Amino acid sequence: MRNYYAFLLLSVLLCSCPDSYRGAPETVTEALPRPNILFIMSDDHAQKAISAYTDELTETPNLDRIGNEGVVFRNSFVTNSICAPSRAAILTGKYSHLNGKIDNLSPFNPDQWTFPEALHDAGYRTSLIGKHHLQARPRGIDEFRGLVGQGNYYYPVFVHNGDTLDRQEGYTTNIITEYALEELERAANDPTDQPFMMLYWHKAPHRNWMPDTSDLPGLLDKRYPEPATLRDDYAGRPAAAHADMRIADMFTSEDLKVMKEYQYPDPGTGGAGFITDPDFDRVKGFTWQMERLTDQQRAAFAPYLKRIGEEWREVKGTEQELAWRYQRYVQDYLASVKSVDDNVGRVLDYLEETGLDENTIVIYTSDQGFYLGEHGWYDKRFMYEESHRTPLMIRYPAGFKGKKVNEDLVLNLDLGPTLLDYAGIATPEEVQGRSLRPLLEGNTPDDWREDVYYRYYQQMNSYHRVARHEGIRDERYKLIQFTEPGFEGYELYDLKTDPHEMDNRSEDAELGEVKTRLMERMAALKTELQVPD
């Protein structure tokens, strides 16, 4: 079988100039066997934190391998920027209002159609390793090793095919990878050549950004450029001003790693300012996280925590506090990203060592983007660019070669239909996503979407106090309509002249026709997508 793939590789027809990063990738013209699928997803990974998109913050050499050998989608968006609803949208190919998972609190119906079950029914060996976050065990999964809830960065608890395991000693990103490699080893040694589909889904870099002990040396000496909007005053954007997701209000304990001997009680709201329970104590929560580590792990953390505490005492209440908070946040966030990158490298290496790489589609994405100080924030939820966008890179050596940057508007809904297309499986008519296969092979259809619809449902009296809203974005303009009582109104942005979305021009007569056009188009899209009022 490996010799067959080697022959396939030699029979590639050159369809574009290989030196053009934006040209169409080379496509393979021979009939291919059904591809294997490795679907890698992280949690809360901003495009800005992948060097295939920009190297202003960090280097991710292993993630970049996917983009450098395939397609980097620059305009990849989610339909609802919050963890569980985004995962439900990916699995079902449908917007939140149709799949029923509108926020993190609502239930998800596990009996509805999903693309992994369709692959399973078509003969694929299917697995989900890592963070699922949709409670009920998914149907059509042969091997399930899912984290319980959000999971912890150390000593995680997994459910294995219905059985809750004892907590696992070690760092969660590494453990998830070990489980993934075990499943890939089974595939590499399968005499039947059954195709596989693996959902290899990481917890990191989700809050609270705990680095691996191996990445602690030198971490506190790293410095990162501040975003231009770190000190945003939210003028003209009342919903943004009301939100509780500012770095200035983070928990100093759990988020910034200040131990109780340096700060007690925690002065931050951490997005949970609506909670009035007197037993809600993040200092105790972070203390518990540290106490559950091994003696060796605590020893590795000791000098790191001591230096953080001492620095906090120096900057607390000074003009330097916000700058220090920003660095502290991004240091840990990017350390969590580094661990994902390292572990993805281990998996990609294994594919190459075993010859599985040639006929395996590899996807890397996140359940949504994330704020890394833009608008003074962390977290997601809003339709502003940093959390509306999500990274998406896809490679498939046997199907297309070369590297390409794609600028078309794509959605997380499109991933399932894409994989089914390559597997030769029909997608149900009710699925709202579209296959990306033409885009991957360098041929954007004439009727490809020119705008995308977004909606955020979670209640205001919940984490981070983000007002409910919906909106539409095309190549240049974005219209957001806030529907939360007390915050009703529109925001309109010209992304060409105002890429940071600081100037709300919803009342600007110069853009009056643009606003009217977008309002009419959003109404038409809602009808087309069966969105209830």
Helices (H), 122-237: 172-188
Is residue 220 one of the residues assigned to a domain? no
CA distance 504 to 498: 9
Q: Are residues 500 and 426 in the same domain?
A: no
Could you tell me if 504 and 405 lie in one domain? no
213 located within any domain: no
For residue 123, count other CB atoms closer than 10 A to its CB: 11
Q: What is the CATH number of the domain that holds 190?
A: 3.40.720.10
Residue 45 lies in a domain: yes
Same domain assignment for residues 378 and 481: no
**Euclidean distance between CA atoms 494 and 496, whole angstroms:** 5
Residues 150 and 39 occupy one common structural domain: yes
Tokens of 106: 């609502």
pLDDT tens-digit profile, the chain (533 residues) = 433 333 333 333 233 333 333 445 565 545 678 999 999 999 999 999 999 999 999 999 999 999 999 999 999 999 999 999 999 999 999 999 999 999 998 889 999 999 999 999 999 999 999 999 897 778 899 999 999 988 999 999 999 998 999 999 999 999 999 999 999 999 999 999 999 999 999 999 999 999 999 999 999 999 999 999 999 999 999 999 999 999 999 999 999 999 999 999 999 999 998 888 888 999 999 999 999 999 999 999 999 999 999 999 999 999 999 999 999 999 999 999 999 999 999 999 999 999 999 999 999 999 999 999 999 999 999 999 999 999 999 999 999 988 899 999 999 999 999 999 999 999 999 999 999 999 999 999 999 999 999 999 998 888 999 999 999 999 999 999 999 999 999 999 999 999 999 999 999 999 999 999 999 999 999 999 999 98
Classify residue 517 by burial, with Cβ atoms within 10 Å: 0-12, 13-18, 19+: middle
Together in a domain, 38 and 174? yes
Q: Are residues 62 and 133 in the same domain?
A: yes
Counting the structural domains of the chain, the total is 2
Write down the pLDDT at residue 137: 78
**DSSP symbol at 71:** E
Same domain for 495 and 373: no
pLDDT of residue 86: 97
User: What pLDDT was estimated at residue 387?
Assistant: 98
195 and 85 in a single domain? The answer is: yes
CB–CB of 481/469 below 8 Å? yes
Q: Which residues contact 495 (CB under 8 A, 6 or more apart)?
A: 385, 473, 476, 477, 478, 501
In a domain, 319, yes or no: no
Residues 473 and 445 in one domain: no
**Residue 187: inside a domain:** yes
pLDDT of residue 150: 86
Residues 362 and 416 in one domain: yes
Is position 248 within any domain? no
To the question of pTM greater than 0.85 for the whole model, the response is yes
Is 497 a domain residue? Answer: yes
In angstroms, the CA 388 to CA 531 distance is: 19
- Please state, as a whole number, how many other Cβ atoms lie within 10 Å of the Cβ of residue 425: 17
Residue 336 lies in a domain: yes
State which residues form the domain around 389: 2-208+332-449
- Whether residue 507 sits in one domain with residue 381: no
User: Which alpha helices (DSSP H) does 459-533 contain, by range?
Assistant: 512-528
The pLDDT score that the predictor gives to residue 11 is 33
CATH code where residue 491 lies: 3.30.1120
Whole-number Å distance between alpha carbons of 484 and 467: 5
Question: Closest by alpha carbon to 367, among 405, 420, 413, 404?
Answer: 413
| Same domain for 133 and 85 | yes
30 Cβ neighbours under 8 A, 6+ residues apart? 8, 11
